[in-house]
Structure 1
Amino acid sequence: MKKCWDLDPFNRPTIITLENIISEWIKCINRYYAANSDGNYLYEVPDINNQLKIGMLEFIEANEA
């Protein structure tokens, strides 16, 4: 999220990069709902890499600010 606000436009992510990140978030959310479809909520998404998790949390925190 912070990279999007960089003063130097060349340091900002491209639309392709953003699309890839958001697509991964959507896949992650879909896996969460699939894993919890039986009502026994795990609150963990299987097969999520740590960098993706950090990116999602950073976005949520920025959205709450």
Structure 2
Amino acid sequence: MIMEKTYGGGIYEAAFGTQSNLVFISGRFGFDIIDTKKMKIKSFDPVSEPPFSRQRCKNG
């Protein structure tokens, strides 16, 4: 395990960023961007969704 955070509410989405060291979490109480390389979490309130470039699945 790289790092751990407990969420008290529901998680709606977890997405990996185009830079593989970032993870975007959308939850009941807001948004988190987790930087697994720097081991930091930046939180945003529910009305302030941060800009985040997500990876797209490739159709084979």
Larger RCO of the pair (alpha carbons < 8 Å, separation 6+):
1
Fold match (TM-score > 0.5): no
TM-score normalised by the chain length of structure 1: 0.22
Larger Rg: 1
Normalization by structure 2: what TM-score? 0.23
More strand by share: 2
